[in-house]
């Protein structure tokens, strides 16, 4: 990319909102309700995927089975009732969105979260944060969750721009994989707990919203230039000049690289974790959503 993008696709959980731990614990708790004792470390590396990926990989059952549906519903209920009230946005999240909108960028959401869960966390960014987004693609629109490209493809189509005119911002390798499948380049945040070594498909890596905001003037959004090694071969491989960033080893780093939230978001008695949200077949009836100049309208 050599010109600034025209639009930005945002993941939300772990990218704008510090909800990874909460989502993950909800998965572990939900599985336990059905008699499955699953270690935190088993689930955590799968966070960023949806139920269609998590359940088969962890328990060997399909999301569509009766047990899969029960666990998915348990997770939704647990997340909403026990964890969502304790969540906070990452520092700088709202300011970053406002900076981008002020520049004239079109902002959209591309998440495997369920619509009702997205509606629950967006107000954490600010009372009018939803108006900053032109539209949102969620699990309801995605046949398959990340790292499949379904939800990103929907967001690209709704943006009105070509894939090469967009950048996605996410916090897991699954965001980069999903975006790459539809031709969108990615900026990664370390806020999801992954090491730089696992985020090499991104064109740039930042600690989180506040870090990108602090370096905004030298970012692709202003310069139109890769912050990694800009050689054609390196760009094609999604690579980066190692002199420009630090690499931490060993995949997902629990408790490492996350930006501090404005408040303590951890529920007492729990470790660290997050899960993705279930993806569903079929599209969403646009008559059920309002589109206005004021941005994405929740509910």
Domain edge (last residue) among 218, 241, 264: 241
Task: Decide: helix, strand or coil at residue 181.
Answer: helix
Establish if 70 belongs to a structural domain: yes
Torsion angle of C-alpha atoms 84, 85, 90, 94, degrees rounded to 10: 100
- pLDDT by residue for the chain (299 residues), tens digit each? 578 999 999 999 999 999 988 889 999 999 999 999 998 889 888 889 999 999 999 999 999 999 999 999 999 999 999 999 999 999 999 999 999 999 999 999 999 999 999 999 999 999 999 999 999 999 999 889 999 999 999 999 999 999 999 999 999 999 999 999 999 999 999 999 998 999 999 999 999 999 999 999 999 999 997 755 333 333 333 433 333 333 333 345 544 444 443 333 333 232 222 233 333 333 333 333 333 345 655 55
The answer on 93 and 82 residing in a single domain is no
Sequence-separated (6 or more) residues with CB below 8 Å from residue 193: 14, 20, 44, 171, 252, 253, 254, 255, 256, 257, 258, 272
Cα–Cα distance measured from residue 92 to residue 78, given in angstroms and rounded to the nearest whole number: 28
Total domain count for the chain? 2
The answer on 157 and 11 residing in a single domain is yes
**What's residue 273's pLDDT?**
28
Domain edge (last residue) among 50, 70, 86: 86
Tens digits of per-residue pLDDT, 237-286?
343 333 333 333 334 554 444 444 333 333 323 222 223 333 333 333 33
**What's residue 229's pLDDT?**
39
The answer on 62 and 131 residing in a single domain is no
CATH number where 175 lies: 3.40.50.1000
Domain edge (last residue) among 241, 269, 286: 241
The answer on 94 and 71 residing in a single domain is no
Establish if 296 belongs to a structural domain: no
By residue range, what is the domain housing residue 198?
A: 7-18+88-241
Sequence-separated (6 or more) residues with CB below 8 Å from residue 299: 119
Sequence-separated (6 or more) residues with CB below 8 Å from residue 285: none
Helix (H) or strand (E) holding 78: helix 66-78
- Whole-prediction pTM: 0.79
């Amino acid at each position: 990319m050599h010109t600034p993008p025209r639009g930005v696709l945002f993941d939300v959980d772990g990218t704008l909102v510090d909800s990874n731990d909460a989502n993950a614990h909800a998965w572990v708790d939900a599985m336990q309700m059905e008699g499955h004792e699953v270690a935190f470390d088993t689930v955590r590396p799968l966070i960023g995927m949806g139920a269609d990926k998590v359940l088969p990989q962890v328990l060997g059952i399909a999301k569509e089975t009766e047990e899969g549906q029960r666990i998915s519903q348990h997770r939704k209920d647990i997340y909403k009732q026990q964890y969502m009230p304790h969540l906070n946005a990452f520092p700088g999240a709202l300011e970053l969105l406002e900076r981008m909108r002020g520049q004239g960028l079109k902002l959209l959401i591309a998440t495997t979260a369920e619509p009702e869960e997205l509606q629950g966390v967006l107000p954490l960014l600010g009372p009018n944060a939803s108006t900053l987004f032109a539209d949102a693609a969620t699990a309801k629109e995605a046949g398959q969750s990340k790292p499949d490209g379904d939800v990103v493809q929907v967001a690209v189509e709704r943006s009105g721009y070509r894939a090469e005119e967009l950048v996605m911002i996410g916090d897991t390798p699954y965001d980069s994989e999903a975006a790459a499948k539809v031709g969108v380049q990615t900026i990664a945040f370390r806020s999801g707990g992954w090491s730089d070594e696992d985020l090499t498909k991104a064109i740039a890596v930042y600690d989180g919203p506040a870090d990108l905001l602090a370096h905004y003037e030298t970012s692709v959004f202003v310069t139109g230039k890769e912050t990694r090694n800009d050689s054609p071969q390196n760009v094609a491989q999604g690579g980066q000049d190692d002199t420009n960033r630090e690499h931490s080893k060993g995949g997902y780093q629990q408790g490492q690289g996350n930006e501090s939230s404005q408040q303590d978001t951890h529920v007492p008695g729990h470790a660290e974790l997050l899960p993705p949200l279930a993806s569903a077949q079929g599209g969403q009836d646009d008559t059920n959503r309002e589109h206005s100049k004021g941005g994405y309208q929740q509910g």
